[in-house]
Structure 1
Amino acid sequence: MQRQKMSSGRTVLAAVPKDRVITQYPKPYNPNASPYNNIEFHPKVKGACAENRTGRVGLKICKAVIVGDVAVGKTCVVNRFCHNVFNRDYKATIGVDFEVEKFSVLGVPFTLQMWDTAGQERFKCIASSYYRGANIVIVAFDLSDECSLLSVPKWMVEATENADEPIKFLVGTKRDLLSDAAFADVEARAMVVAKNLGAEFWVTSSKTGVNVQEFFKRMVALVFDIHLVKELEASNAPTIRMGTGLIQVQRENSQYFEKKKKAQCCK
């Protein structure tokens, strides 16, 4: 939902597509393959979002970068999510592609910037400059190509070294190319890699669309919840920053500050 101003000064939210509205905390692909254990939005986040309905929470922007070997399907998974299309003959990315998606998370406007980087070695110096400031790092590999899984740690290190504690994901693509037996074997090995990297593991197919919507909604909810909790807990000021966006919490009406005030009075 995008924020709009009424002539009366009251803030309302313009509609976004239903598949971009998040009201419940999305589940991981496998609870045993994720370092992020929350099963619902943090109470403080719910409180801040409730204040948004009176116009005290502003637009937030999140930066996600997706990296991995050439031809693992990075652009295909982004295109499946953003445009609901699959192009088997899509040409290799040159440098960096860019997509923007608008969401509503618990009624709060949220913008996701996706930076789809080239996997070729000759473009690495260009793509690496876009890693800086990433809130989310996605390393993609081809489930049918073992070499692409072996490259995952290298990509994760390169993409996270200039980021400030990003949320990390390991995404296996092209699930449709594997038999169940072959998939079970590579999934087990990939889950070990994800655990060692502190990343959440997902399996997708851009061709069939399996898990694509679920993955991106999970990603958005996680970054929204984790970063907003950090900012709320780190600052007692009425103005709180998250990424490149701004959240304003009015102290006298905030449940968070009221509870804190009561706790101090009881000492």
Structure 2
Amino acid sequence: MNILAPVRRDRVLAELPQCLRKEAALHGHKDFHPRVTCACQEHRTGTVGFKISKVIVVGDLSVGKTCLINRFCKDTFDKNYKATIGVDFEMERFEVLGIPFSLQLWDTAGQERFKCIASTYYRGAQAIIIVFNLNDVASLEHTKQWLAD
């Protein structure tokens, strides 16, 4: 019995998504990396388990970390700002080449008083997204410090 809801159609990746604009592409690859394809084939034979990747979202106070995560996971945008206390997280499910895959998005507090505990959340993360406010040059400058941390 499958207790999980089906993966949303826009979260099923049967091929490598192409950039909307060619000049925006970081690479020119048309297919998944051979290691990804190989790992998915191994999964079908039972040698690789269900995949979960941890992504930490960091940045200054009130730059839009929670809004970005909510837009990605829930397809919503809430104009009423409510500060994150400590950490919160969302789980988004995908299917990559027919294999289930989950993304844990960890939403960290941007306040200085939580910065010391935020580094403990970095452990085990496969990626970090540093968020800044386009209207706040200081928040862009602070990305260097977030990267160093």
TM-score between both structures, scaled by the size of structure 1: 0.49
Return 5+ residue gaps in structure 2 as ranges.
none
Q: Match of 2:132, SS?
A: strand
- Pick from 79, 85, 93 the counterpart of residue 94 of structure 1: 85
- Pick from 109, 113, 116 the counterpart of residue 104 of structure 2: 113
Report the Cα offset of residue 58 of structure 1: 1.9
Would you say how many aligned residue pairs link Structure 1 and Structure 2? 145
Q: Match of 1:111, SS?
A: strand
* Distance of 1:131 and 1:47 partners within structure 2: 28
Amino acid at match of 2:51: K
* Distance of 1:105 and 1:57 partners within structure 2: 14
Amino acid at match of 2:57: I
Q: Which of structures 1 and 2 has the larger relative contact order (alpha carbons within 8 angstroms, sep 6+)? A: 2
* Distance of 2:15 and 2:91 partners within structure 1: 22
Corresponding residue for 2:141? Answer: 150
User: Contact (CA 8 Å) 1:76, 1:87: kept in 2 or not?
Assistant: yes
Alignment of 1:1-267 (within 5 A): 15-27=6-18, 30-31=24-25, 34=26, 38-158=29-149
User: Contact (CA 8 Å) 1:52, 1:107: kept in 2 or not?
Assistant: no
* Distance of 1:108 and 1:88 partners within structure 2: 35
Query: What value does the CA root-mean-square deviation take over the aligned residues?
Result: 2.4
Q: Match of 2:63, SS?
A: coil
Per-residue CA deviation, residues 169-199 of structure 1 (Å, 9 max, x unaligned), is: xxxxxxxxxxxxxxxxxxxxxxxxxxxxxxx
Q: Which has the larger radius of gyration?
A: 1
Q: Which has the higher helix share?
A: 1
Return 5+ residue gaps in structure 1 as ranges.
5-13, 159-267
- The structure-2 alpha-carbon separation of the partners of 1:112 and 1:149, relative to structure 1 and needing over 3 Å to count, comes to same
